[in-house]
Amino acid sequence: MVFVAVHTGAGFYQSGKRKKFLEVCSQACETAIKGWKNNSTAIDGVVEAIAYLEDQMITNAGFGSNLNSAGYVECDASLMDGRDLLFGSVGAVQSIQNPIKVARLILDNQRLKPPLGLIAPNFLAGEGAKKFAVSHGLEDYELISGKSLNIFNKYKRQLEECETASIDDKHKKYDTVGAVCIDDNGCLACGVSSGGLILKKEGRIGQASILGSGCWSEGNVAVTTSGIGEYLIRTSFARKTVENLNGKNDDTQNIVEKLVQVFNDNFFESPLMKNVPREDHLAGILGLSTDTDNIEMFWGHSTKSMCIGYMDSTFTSGKSFISDLDCSVKPGISLIETVALPRLAGFGCEGCGFHPMK
């Protein structure tokens, strides 16, 4: 059985746009599952799902992404195969419709033997990444949408006039879309793609490009992250999460309890975050954990909300939902997480609960 899950970022979802985000998440899962072939792998599922999300103007990945401080789009993306731990990544790439497909090319090239003993790269950035993509058949593509340009112009004017107003919640797209997948051989893969923060510096590279920060797949766990990229990089949040969830230190803990501990120990209370205001401790994570009998989908976020979709190969359509922090707490202070989906008992969402951080 094949299973895929996606997210469109941990951040803030306006009530008027929630339906569209839910539809996009469901359709991304359907694209991955319905395009599945006999020889498809978890990597194929991740790439198909993320490429669909990149094509949607409403997401902050690929077309319609946030503009940087100079007024153009630079995208990051990465991909990891849990079978052999190969990783492919692209950073600050311009004018490529599907950055995740560039990451796939970079990953696959590492399985080839370059001439003259050269070493195949696992990360390309900027103009070099674009030239590599074009040389492998990906076309030059305009990524700026009318909507993203209007938002850029609004905040660029404020910045130039030294206004003190902050960016509205509704325009805070906290990095990344992501996907995790398990194929019918039980192999896991994960990926992530992002246009980055609005008005970011030219050349800025976020967690979606960085090994161990945007996604990680190893052992029985695969995850993809979202949030403020600088802090996810600082804490190697994806890799640390997988290491802790794979760990056997306390077999009495279920995956929810382990996830809470990861957020506490490796993010909220991490010494690497001691100089970061607590309200900026913003992160989200989506993952899969599997053993012989079960597969669990889990997620957590300290942002106001997170939109998630999922589907397995027995479903006729994708399912999606938005997870919200309790309205009585501030983002960056608390965490909501849910875990469900026993493989043999069928799939469903249950067990959603709010757990304040100490």
- Residues 173 and 177: their CA atoms lie apart, in Å, by 10
- Alpha carbon of residue 238 to chain centroid: 10
Catalytic site includes residue 8:
no
Closest CA to 10 of 250, 232, 252, 239: 232
The answer to whether the beta carbons of residues 259 and 302 sit under 8 Å apart is no
- Residues 83 and 22: their CA atoms lie apart, in Å, by 30
The DSSP code for 171 is G
Q: Which residue among 8, 31, 59, 176 is the active-site one?
A: 176
Six-digit token pair at 207? 């967690």
Q: Strands of 221-227's sheet, edge to edge? A: 215-218, 221-227, 283-290, 295-301, 335-340, 353-355
- Residues 152 and 298: their CA atoms lie apart, in Å, by 34
- Residues 310 and 321: their CA atoms lie apart, in Å, by 9
Six-digit token pair at 4? 């895929």
Six-digit token pair at 98? 């599907």
The residues annotated as belonging to the active site are 176
